[in-house]
Structure 1
Amino acid sequence: MKKKRLLIIIGVVILVAVIVILNLSQRDAGEEVEVALVKRGNITSKVSASGQLRAKAQVDVSAETIARVRKILCKEGDFVTKGQLVIELDDVQANAARQLALANFEQAEQDLQRAQKLLEKELISHESFERIQLNYKTSKASYEQAMDTFRKTKIYAPISGRIMKINVEEGETAVMGALNYGGTVMMTIADMSNVIAVVTIDETDVPDVQIGQVSEIVADALPDTTFPGVVIKVGLMPITSQLTTDKVTDFEVEIELGEFSPFLRPGMNVQTDITTHEKVDVLVIPIQASGKRKIDSKTAQTTFVVNDGKAQLAEITTGVSSDKDIEVVSGVEEGDTVIIGPYRVLSKLKDGQKVSFEVPEEDSISQNLRPPRGLFGRLRKRT
């Protein structure tokens, strides 16, 4: 019995000794980290945005007089050319007013001609002549106004394009616009051969987005198709959204699509990536290897470089960044080993601390390991 108890005690002592030895060996080996090699490569910085499609040329056709819709000469989806008659309004009243105004104008014109002859013979006074002359001018203006109203009973297409929407029916009364009312929008015509994406970007991205930059656009309705585009306008005034408790300031950007698809429609939701910077054959490291830390009482962009089994804090100068990688202008050399994680270790790592790691493979750059924004600052949008 005593022998058995002795064996148990000896076994426990051996187990404890093994655990202690393992802990000491691990501690001596250093903190286990993940690393990557500093390599040369290409890097592209992009700004992601979302918005909607619009026709570059789109017009709402509104009524310019009050009249009943007599005939609609087209249907939704039809292609019309500029100047084509698309809607006829009831012109009975307008025509009657025109005829009456014409008769009054012709009579006033005859009266003026007669008065001019009488004035030359001094058979009427200048005051009488001026009254007749004023009546002529008034009648002429009334006739021109009546003619204008009559012409407005015929609605012509202001641009060439496709009928996207018809908002009235035959027999319905169309109303012209007033000071606080835009009038009846009878139809919408859009030139769908030239489509733009109107997207919003965060104010912090505005300095990077410029006219002429290329982009890739994907419509939610066509997720497997990518359309090329070019930035044609960057808004100067912000669009302030207060949909959340935080005030968000965005700017509108217009992107012209380089290809046409008959499946695209105004109002479709789209996602886009705007290429803002491109660098070729530069030093790059995974973005999670770069972070801001204090060096000599100042905050600097840094990375941990492994040297003789220790993590050495190095100040670096960075350039263009993508979601995965960041350009390093100075501070490291090609072939250096930098620490990229794990985050729980990297966030507490000290300069000169011992580390252990597996030798990275040649293609280990750009591993999908990203820290929270808190330590390493704001990351670029996806590439």
Structure 2
Amino acid sequence: MANGKKSKKKYYIFGGIGLMILAVILLVVFGGNKEQIITVQTEKVQKRTITQIVSATGKINPVYQVMISAEATGEIVYLPIKEGDVVQKGQLLVRIKPYIYEAQRNNAAARLEQAKATLRSTEAQLNKVQSDYKRIQGLYDKKLASDSELETAKANYLQTLGSYESQKSLVVQSEAALKEATENLNKTYVYAPMDGTISKLNVELAQRVLGSNFSPGTEILTVADLRKMEARVDVDENDVVLVSVGDEAIVKVDAFGDKEFKGKVTQIGNSAVSKGLGTQDEVVNFEVRILIEDPDKQLRPGMSCDADIKTETKPNVIAVPIQSVTARVDKQKTVENKSEEESQVEKPKNGKSNKPKEVVFLAQDGKAKMVEVKTGISDDSYIEIINGLKGGEDVISGPYKAISKELEDGVKISLQSKRKGEKENK
């Protein structure tokens, strides 16, 4: 009896295991054959006007500004201005203590007068010696003067002539010294080089400043013409080739909220400005200057700004949403030999690896159709299609995950309307 019970128990155990294996096999066979259906959103392909935008950040600066540094060393004894004052060209802005420079100028003037007096005396002596030399030469021609008398007269003349020429050189040197001393004295006066506003004042009355004889002098102030302002922005090296002088731009200044200023590109830098050189965060930019057409009186140098430069506009071009365009690589065909272990992957005839191609997916008869396209310019939302579409097709516009990874040619899809204001999950 015991053996009979054990046999029945084994029968139930093995029977249960068999049923479980059968159930797993049925699930794999029938469940694996179930075709996946991807829910997507579509949009009609149509013609649009696309404006390509290059965005950049930077600072507001005056078009014309002059930084004035001290050229004379000394104490500031006159400072009639303050930051924000409007000044006129030629107006006296700063006076540096002039006493030392006045003394140097007076000393140079005295030396010049002394040199000129000595020159006049030497010139008179030269005239006398020259006259004596000519007289003795005449007597010598008549055999009335000896050779020694002629040689002595000639030597005196040449010696005096040399002194005269030397004294002329001293006069020239003294004139140059006086000119230099006068110029140094004039440097103690600082005048406005242009009409404008004192945008920066770095010194105070009685402060001592250093001149620029041997090193950069003390920066005294900056005069700027605030009637003409520009945005100086840094454009990425990949985008700067799209920008041209004359391109229109919209400038937003952080301090003015959503207010927009119109402008035009006036200058594109030729030298790169690198940040984070030698690191993984290295960035190469080029400075682009944008003249603001109607600047606000409250614009100040140094304010942060953002600029959108309109580099190109194309009207009535076929366009699709930017997210509709993705990249796909052609699947490589497998070449099977007699041995499965020696299966090889077919390579392109040119020996190069397959490059990704730009594609979009169209919704046709409940399936996704992959179409290769050639793209052009783009704005924030749409991208131009140069080849591949004619217009009027239903292009799949979302979700992003389906377009970028899941969709393939011929995959079944179901359409879902995009609700107004609904954000796409990427």
Give the conservation status (yes or no) of the 8 Å contact 1:116–1:129: yes
- 2:203 paired residue number: 168
Shift of residue 367, structure 1, vs aligned partner: 8.9
Answer yes or no: is 1:354 the counterpart of 2:361: no
Q: Is the contact between residue 323 and residue 397 of structure 2 (CA under 8 Å) also seen in structure 1?
A: yes
Write the distance in 2 (CA, Å) between the matches of 1:329 and 1:86: 62
Query: 1:156 and 2:159 equivalent?
Result: no
Aligned to 2:151: none
- Structure 2: runs of 5 or more not aligned: 1-26, 131-158, 332-353
Distance (Å, rounded) in 1 between the aligned partners of 2:177 and 2:402: 87
**Structure holding more strand per residue:** 1
Q: How far does residue 294 in structure 1 lie from its aligned partner after superposition?
A: 2.2
Contact 1:161 1:192 in 2 (8 A): yes
Match of 1:114 in 2: 121
In structure 2, what residue type is equivalent to 1:75? K
Aligned with 1:193: secondary structure? Answer: coil
Counterpart of 2:95?
Answer: 88
SS of equivalent to 1:94: helix
The CA distance in 1 between the partners of 2:231 and 2:425, in whole Å, is: 31
**8 Å CA contact 1:94, 1:150 repeated in 2:** yes
CA drift of 1:302 comes to: 0.6
- In structure 1, what residue type is equivalent to 2:240? V
CA deviation vs aligned residue, 1:288-312 (integer Å, no higher than 9, x gap): 1001112475532110011111101
| 1:343 aligned residue | 400
Distance 2:304 2:284 in 1: 20
For 1:254 and 1:227, the matched residues in 2 are separated by 14
Contact 2:71/2:213, CA 8 A, preserved across alignment: no
For the Cα contact (< 8 Å) 1:40–1:282, is it kept in 2?
Answer: yes
Q: Residue 287 of structure 1 is aligned with which of 322, 342, 358?
A: 322
Higher mean Cα deviation, 212-221 or 339-348?
Answer: 339-348
CA positional deviation for 1:360: 7.1
Q: Which residue of 1 aligns with 2:111?
A: 104
Q: 291-300 or 170-179: which moved more?
A: 291-300
Aligned to 2:49: 42
- Is 1:77 the counterpart of 2:95 in the alignment? no
Whether 1:220 and 2:220 are equivalent positions in the alignment is no
Deviation at 1:214, TM superposition (A): 0.6
Aligned residue number for residue 14 of structure 1: none
> What is the correspondence of 1:244-255 to structure 2 with a 5 Å cutoff?
245-255=280-290
* Aligned-pair CA distance for 1:107: 2.0
Q: Bigger CA drift: 185-194 or 92-101? A: 92-101
- How many residues are aligned here? 344
Work out whether residues 36 and 360 of structure 1, in 8 Å CA contact, stay in contact via their aligned partners in 2.
no
TM-score in terms of structure 2 length: 0.76
Residue identity in the other structure for 2:376: G
Contact 2:253 2:304 in 1 (8 A): yes
Structure-2 residue corresponding to 1:379: none
Q: Say if 1:41 and 1:283, in contact at 8 Å, map to a contact too.
A: yes
Structure 1 letter corresponding to 2:89: K
Counterpart of 2:336 in structure 1 is none
For 2:165 and 2:290, the matched residues in 1 are separated by: 61
Aligned to 1:260: 295
Please report how far the alpha carbon of residue 285 of structure 1 lies from its aligned counterpart in structure 2 after TM superposition: 0.7
Q: Does 1:310 align with 2:367?
A: yes
- Give SS of 1:221's match: helix
Could you tell me whether the CA contact under 8 Å between 2:122 and 2:160 is conserved in 1? no
The structure with the greater share of residues assigned to helix is 2
SS at match of 2:230: strand
Alpha-carbon contact 1:288-1:370 (below 8 Å) kept: no
Q: Give the aligned residue type for 1:343.
A: Y
Matching residue within 183, 199, 202 for 2:233: 199
| Stretches of 4+ aligned residues off by more than 2 angstroms | 27-30, 243-246, 294-299, 343-346, 358-361, 366-371
Deviations 1:5-27 (A, max 9, x none): xxxxxxxxxxxxxxx9xx99xx6
Distance 1:106 1:205 in 2: 67
Q: What residue number does 1:125 align with?
A: 160
With over 3 angstroms needed to count, the CA separation of the structure-2 counterparts of 1:237 and 1:368, relative to structure 1, is farther
SS of corresponding position for 2:389 = coil
TM-score by length of 1: 0.84
**Structure 2 counterpart of 1:184:** 218
**Secondary structure, aligned partner of 1:102:** helix
Equivalent residue for 2:264? 230
User: What is the Cα deviation at residue 193 of structure 1?
Assistant: 1.0
The letter for the 2-side match of 1:184 is T
Shift of 1:224: 2.6
Residues 86 and 342 of structure 1: is their aligned pair in 2 closer, same or farther, counting only changes over 3 Å?
Answer: same
Partner Cα distance (1:224, 1:289) in 2: 30
Tell me how far apart the structure 2 counterparts of residues 315 and 367 of structure 1 sit (CA, whole Å).
29
- Structure 1 residue 358: Cα displacement: 3.5
1:137 aligns with 2:172: yes
Which entry has the higher C-alpha Rg, 1 or 2?
2
Question: Gaps (5+ residues) in structure 1?
Answer: 1-19, 372-383
